[in-house]
A and B are shown apart, each in its own frame.
Chain A
Amino acid sequence: MSTEVRELSYSQAIQEAMAIALEADERVVLMGEDIGVYGGAFQVTGDLIERFGPERVMDTPISELGGAGVAVGAAVTGLRPIFEFQFSDFATLAMEQIVNQAAKMRYMLGGAVSVPVVMRFPAGSGTGAAAQHSQSLEAWLGHVPGLKVIQPATPHDAKGMLLAAVADPDPVMIFEHKLLYKMKGPVPEGHYTVPIGKAAIRRSGTDLTIVATSIMVHKALEAAETLAAEGIDVEVVDLRSIRPMDSATIIASVIKTHRLLCVYEGVKTLGIGAEISAMIAESEAFDRLDAPIVRLGGAETPIPYNPELEKAAVPQVPGIVAAARDLVRGVR
């Protein structure tokens, strides 16, 4: 049976995944603020409420902590909730239920329960929403054993990884970059999953490995085109999964190219790039490095409102090109 592949936007792909999940399993329930008739702050849920009704597509009051806790309790007792946070920044309100309850209940109860909850977080900057609506907090949650944390970067993966998350018996936190919602890409029809815990090589190369997450994957690919014209051949790895992280793919890539550049939007210090760098320094790839490991991450500031400042606060294509060039030419 051939599966048709069509162009969908990232948000359409997510909606399609949720529709498939709702259809297939009566235990699946969507929860979030304004996800019903309003269609979701980023129009991701769209008209799902018309298709599945208010009992399956539940508007919650503005109660992130309580709402996340209800989702946890429901997951422990037999439902498969997909809880949408309106902005990833609001994860801070729910940290108690995410970190102390969802992540730990299975362990604290010695395996007596599982917590199959999915939480979705629109994240990242570039919309002028400023400091409290633009953060990238995946490293915070990636730091917590018991959670799984993913960042699909393409419409194809957004659908497949969400379906994998719904099927996962453990809590899965999905960070979706807001600027990706309108990006289009090929998405197969029907049900399929993209495995959690596997990175993807988006561009094969020999001179430098760029490991990037989310929207930075696309910036890295753009930079790679510029660099190719200069004779610099870059390999771009889409990390996709923060916890568990696919170290094997990164290690193999760095062994091949001898150079590593990490590009991510979260604040640079104590972020994902720091983990990747340390992991490589401890690995087989260490003595294949022919250049220092460089990280391009978010600035050590809250995200500013002014659009130029906002852009300057996170890595951009010219910065990626310059860093890559310096590394490969051996001047850094």
Chain B
Amino acid sequence: MTAPATAPAATDSTNLPFLYRHYPREELLGALRRMHLIRRFEEAAEESYMRGLIHGTMHLSIGQEASAVGICLPLTREDQITSTHRGHGHCIAKGADVSRMFAEFFGKTTGYCGGRGGSMHIADVSTGNLGANGIVGGGIPIAVGAALTAKRLRTGKVAVSFFGDGANNEGAFHEALNMASVWKLPVVFVCENNGYGMSTSTERSTAVPNIADRAAAYAMPGVIVDGNDLSAVAQASHEAVERARRGEGPSLIECKTYRHRGHSKSDRNRYRTKDEIDDWMANRDPIARYEAQLSEFGIAGAAEIEAVRLAVRAEIDAGIEFAKASPAPATADLADYVYTEQQ
């Protein structure tokens, strides 16, 4: 997406949240579209899974759409991200094509990874997504490496590392934040704290009450935001990205959010109460909140929002059809891509 422009909003701009002061209407609608696209994609993937069309398991990010979309708003297509096992939302937020994502989940050759990676390794290098990762904390040092390249080769790119609350206790997290700070690298660390590392709450696993508290240990700014407030997330991201681009080094953003579904498709949700889940779903849904704001600030009315929903549904349906019709890889090609073919 294009760099944010200072565009006047529909009404008096001085009291509006950040988002509405910095992004033109079409960008705002684009963000809504992407949030719906994530939500509907996850639901459709879930349905396909329940029908036995998807092998393995999946980690759904329903409820975390504002975090993914908000963080990616200030990024260019060339900026890079690394993601987690819960990476479908990040992939879409960074600009991926859902039909190629479905194709990947169905194990087809037209998938982003040629059917070899699946949900946990979904990637779209053309839009800067270096991949979801099956190892908790696996992508954090890799993002720092991408930032090192940006600095060495002076490309001006910024790298964003998405990870969850669980990852903040992995050694790789600490090593990566330390190095990024020591070397002042253009990387933004984004922790999507949804309260649980699989079944273990942050209270039971993390020594500090907020993951952002750990930023101080690595001499970088640590910011806590309501991860379900698109504007708040976008603002924090904007500041961190600009800081990185100025060469001032890394930042840590903690998005407080919640996942509606269990950790994976095998999760029975025994570790949290139905009331808690219902409360987040009913009262703090990021899409509902955004739509309310768009309406309140006169950016988009019910009809336009419905149009976005319908367009997204059509895009999802077409994506599934594409995936179903795509070919599966040949067994003979098993060993392709282990190494780089050399002439």
The answer to whether A and B touch in the complex, with CB atoms under 8 Å apart, is: yes
- On A, residues with C-beta under 8 Å from B are 26-27, 29, 55, 58, 60-61, 63, 65-79, 81, 96-97, 100-101, 105-114, 145-146, 148, 169-170
Residues of chain B contacted by A58 (CB below 8 angstroms): 183
Known: A61-B179, A61-B182, A69-B176. A107 touches B337 (CB 8 A): yes
Cross-chain contact of A76 among B114, B130, B133, B337 (Cβ < 8 A): B130
Is there an interface contact between A110 and B117, defined as CB atoms closer than 8 Å?
A: yes
- B residues in contact (CB < 8 Å) with A: 80, 82, 111-117, 121, 123, 125, 130-131, 133-135, 138, 140-150, 152-153, 159, 171-172, 174-176, 178-179, 182-183, 336-340, 342
- Minimum CB distance partner of B161 in chain A: A73
13 A-B residue pairs with Cβ-Cβ distance under 8 Å, sorted by A, are A27-B153, A66-B175, A66-B176, A69-B145, A72-B145, A79-B152, A105-B131, A109-B121, A110-B112, A110-B113, A110-B115, A111-B337, A169-B342
A61, B142: Cβ atoms under 8 Å? no
Q: Which 4 A-B pairs have the closest CB atoms?
A: A73-B145, A69-B141, A66-B175, A110-B114
A146 to B131, CA, bound (A): 18
Cα distance A77–B172 when bound, in Å?
Answer: 19
Tell me which residues across on chain B come within 8 A of A65, comparing CB atoms: 141, 171-172, 175
Residues of the B chain whose Cβ atoms lie less than 8 Å from the Cβ of A108: 113, 116-117, 121, 131
From residue B99, how far is it (CB to closest CB) to chain A in Å? Answer: 16
Residues on the B chain within 8 Å of A60, using CB: 179
CB distance from B88 to the nearest CB of A (A): 16
Q: Give the docked Cα–Cα distance between A311 and B183 (Å).
A: 43
The answer to whether A97 touches B138 (Cβ under 8 A) is: yes
CA distance A67 to B140 in the complex (A): 11
> Does the CB pair B116–A73 fall under 8 Å?
no
- Chain B: CB-nearest residue to A27: B153
Residues of B within 8 A of A68 (CB): 141
Kindly list chain B residues whose C-beta atoms are within 8 Å of the C-beta of A78.
149, 153
Most central of B149, B176, B183 by chain A CB within 10 Å? B149
Shortest distance between the CB of A23 and any CB in chain B (Å) = 16
A76: chain B residues at CB < 8 Å are 130, 142, 145-146
Task: With both chains docked as a complex, state the minimum distance between the C-beta of B126 and any C-beta of chain A, in angstroms.
Answer: 8
Query: Across the interface, do A109 and B179 meet the contact criterion of CB distance under 8 Å?
Result: no
By the criterion CB–CB under 8 Å, are B135 and A110 in contact? Answer: no
Smallest CB separation, A305 vs chain B (Å): 29
- Once A110-B113, A112-B123 are accepted as A-B contacts, the answer to whether A63 and B338 lie under 8 Å apart by CB is no
Query: Given the complex of chains A and B, what is the CA–CA distance between A70 and B149 in angstroms?
Result: 10
Known: A79-B152, A100-B134. A66 touches B337 (CB 8 A): no
Given contacts A67-B141, A73-B144, A109-B125, 20 further A-B contacts (CB under 8 A): A29-B152, A61-B175, A63-B175, A65-B175, A67-B179, A69-B142, A73-B142, A73-B149, A78-B153, A79-B145, A81-B145, A96-B135, A100-B134, A106-B338, A109-B116, A109-B117, A110-B116, A111-B114, A111-B337, A114-B340
Residue on B nearest A167 in the bound complex, by CB: B342
State the CA gap A182–B143 with chains docked (Å): 38
Would A170 and B142 count as touching, CB distance under 8 A? no
Q: Are B123 and A72 in contact (CB under 8 A)?
A: no
Contact of B145 among A27, A70, A109 (CB under 8 A): A70
B123 / chain A contacts, CB cutoff of 8 Å: 109, 112
Q: How far is the CA of A72 from the CA of B135 in the complex (A)?
A: 15
CA A26 to CA B152, docked complex, whole Å: 9
Known: A66-B172, A77-B130, A77-B146. A107 touches B338 (CB 8 A): yes
CA distance A106 to B172 in the complex (A): 21
Residues of A within 8 A of B138 (CB): 69, 96-97, 100-101
- Min CB distance B187 to A, Å, is 10
CB distance from B160 to the nearest CB of A (A): 12
Of chain A, the residue at the smallest CB distance from B133 is A101
B144 partner, pick from A27, A55, A69, A106, beta carbons under 8 A = A69
Q: Report which of B117, B140, B339 forms a contact with A69, defined as CB distance below 8 A.
A: B140
